[in-house]
Chains A and B, each alone.
Chain A
Amino acid sequence: GQNIDQPTEMTATEGAIVQINCTYQTSGFNGLFWYQQHAGEAPTFLSYNVLDGLEEKGRFSSFLSRSKGYSYLLLKELQMKDSASYLCAVRGNTGGFKTIFGAGTRLFVKA
């Protein structure tokens, strides 16, 4: 089976750095994704990790450790517009490479 865990909510201050953790258990692994979703909107792609290590893209970075079943999303120089839900998702390598999503972490950025 598959299981993805991430914190329900986090609060951080504008300009700060926040790290959102994700742990997963899957029967097969073909990549880990992070998506951002603002209220009432569809999810948008942020990052993809398939190999261990850190992927950096502007203010956002994502890290993966396959042996530990662990990932984190790092957001730097937080802005008010970063207030959103952040979804960790894992793609398996069977059954049509389907992607399963975690419950999401609601991030509140305060002034």
Chain B
Amino acid sequence: SAVISQKPSRDICQRGTSLTIQCQVDSQVTMMFWYRQQPGQSLTLIATANQGSEATYESGFVIDKFPISRPNLTFSTLTVSNMSPEDSSIYLCSVALDGYEQYFGPGTRLTVT
């Protein structure tokens, strides 16, 4: 199994600012994913972040808006840039072990005013 922590757990931010979310895993993992979950909705994949390569973004998500870092096998950051109220959501970090079971962090609840 994997234990994942995220910082911050929640934040309220002003429109036009940026927030960086940190994800720390207690073991080395190759595959790491960032998801967004808006109220009452399911999870939407933002990007896949593998160490040693640039993140791969899903349709509708771009690097300028959601830059991702993956400096090592236990850590990643997601930045939500130039925020608008539409970015209000829960952002979840996830890892896949052995290409199989996927574990999720507790999430970061972001509110943009």
> Which residues from chain A sit less than 8 Å from chain B, CB to CB?
30-31, 33, 41-45, 48, 85, 87, 89, 95-104
A-contact 0/1 string along B93-105, CB 8 Å cutoff: 0001001111111
For B, the interface residue count at a CB cutoff of 8 angstroms equals 23
Whether A96 touches B100, Cβ cut-off 8 Å, given contacts A42-B92, A42-B105, A101-B42, is no
- Flag B27-38 by CB within 8 Å of A: 1 or 0 each: 000010101000
Judging by beta carbons under 8 Å apart, are A97 and B42 in contact? Answer: no
For the complex, give the distance between the alpha carbons of A101 and B94 in Å: 13
Instruction: List residues of chain B with CB within 8 A of the CB of A44.
Output: 104
Question: Main SS of chain A's interface residues?
Answer: loop
9 A-B pairs within 8 Å (CB atoms) are namely A30-B99, A31-B100, A45-B102, A95-B48, A96-B48, A99-B45, A99-B96, A101-B43, A102-B42
Give, as a whole number of angstroms, the nearest-CB distance from A79 to chain B. Answer: 23
Cross-chain pair count, CB within 8 angstroms: 48
Contact A97 B31 (CB under 8 A): yes
Q: A95-B48, A98-B48, A99-B33 are in contact. Are A87 and B102 (CB under 8 A)?
A: no
Question: Is the pair B45, A87 in contact by a Cβ cutoff of 8 Å?
Answer: no
Q: With A103-B41, A104-B42 in contact, is A95–B100 under 8 Å at CB?
A: no
Q: Are A42 and B107 in contact (CB under 8 A)?
A: yes
Nearest Cβ in chain B — how far from A40, in angstroms? 9
Return chain A residues, CB-CB under 8 Å to B41: 103
B96 contacts across to A, CB distance below 8 A:
97, 99
- The answer to whether A42 touches B45 (Cβ under 8 A) is no
Q: Which of B33, B56, B58, B104 contacts A42 (CB 8 A)?
A: B104
CB distance B99 to A97 under 8 Å?
Answer: yes
Distance to closest chain B CB from A41 (angstroms): 8
| Residues of B close to A100: CB separation below 8 A | 45
A85 neighbours in B (Cβ, 8 Å): 42
- Residue B67 lies at the interface, judged by CB distance under 8 Å to chain A: no
